[in-house]
Amino acid sequence: MEMASGNGISRKIWIGAGLALSFVALASNAPYAALISLFDYDDVLRRSAADVLTKFHEAGTPLVLAWWAFALCAVGFALAAAALGEALKGGRTKLSPAFTMFGVLSGVLQAMALFRWTFAIPQLAAAHAAAPEGSAERIAIETTYSALNGFAGVNIGEHLGQILLMVWTLGIGLAVMRQGGAMKWIGMAGLATLPFWIVGQTELLATAIPEMPVIETIPYAYMAWEAWLLVLGVAMVVKAVRGDVAAGAVSYA
């Protein structure tokens, strides 16, 4: 029988959301590691267009597949955020649907930006490799890459995607803290990642404002946030299995 409370807390939904979060946190590590190995990610993103396109073309199909898998992980996060929103909408947590929307949008926008490496950059990299060095054609390709990277990558995927992710993390952290016990500390840990995301925006703004002082904290924010996501997912599964989700009186339906 499925355990549920009068406030709409479902053990099955909690387990599903926890497993989804854990899977996304673990699955994204494989393509992320491949990108570091094949493409010197993410430092390569701030290099010249010529260097990026050359390195991309040299890496070939394995790199394209790594980007494709990484983008799919962003889609997975959007689905996991939706599942988590369903799990936390009742009981003590009472998560606002707006926070769920922010999480889903963050995942979708990041996926859209990441898919450019699978469906747009390969053509630019191939054309760049075929064009004579120093030619007008090669310069035009590099300009196109820079514009695409600035709009789709830095603007939509990184900056806007991360802003929405920060808002989602804030909402989830506060909601989870209301569960009390160990979940309170897990919620606080999520909130502790926010300063790293915020300070890291200086790196993105510096692409448009060269005089902006850069404090590179996004890689650390990402790693800490992923670890938090995994811990949160596992904790949700454990609490649901034990039947101690804080939601008022429990009944069986």
pLDDT band (50, 70, 90) for residue 93: confident
Share of the chain above pLDDT 70, in %: 93
Q: Tokens 């949008």 correspond to what residue?
A: 105
142-183 confidence digits (pLDDT tens)? 999 999 999 999 999 999 999 999 999 999 999 999 988 999
What confidence score (pLDDT) does residue 243 get? Answer: 79
Cis ω before 42 (30° cut-off from 0): yes
Q: Of 26, 114, 129, 128, nearest to 63 (Cα)?
A: 114
**Alpha helix ranges (H) inside the chain:** 11-27, 29-39, 49-59, 61-87, 97-114, 116-119, 121-130, 136-148, 161-177, 182-192, 194-205, 218-242
106-117 confidence digits (pLDDT tens)? 999 999 999 999
Selected residue with higher pLDDT from 125 and 92: 125
Q: What is the mean pLDDT of residues 125-149?
A: 96
**Alpha helix ranges (H) inside 115-153:** 116-119, 121-130, 136-148
What confidence score (pLDDT) does residue 9 get? Answer: 57
What confidence score (pLDDT) does residue 3 get? Answer: 43
What confidence score (pLDDT) does residue 246 get? Answer: 58
pLDDT for residue 34 is more than 70: yes
Measured from the Cβ of residue 210, the count of other Cβ atoms closer than 10 Å reads 8
* Pair 192, 221: CB distance under 8 Å: no
49-75 confidence digits (pLDDT tens)? 999 999 999 999 999 999 999 999 999
DSSP 131: S
pLDDT for residue 242 is more than 70: yes
pLDDT for residue 7 is more than 80: no
pLDDT for residue 201 is more than 70: yes
**3-class SS at 214?**
coil
224, 229, 230, 236 alpha-carbon torsion, rounded to 10°: 140
Please indicate, yes or no, whether the overall pTM of this predicted structure exceeds 0.85: yes
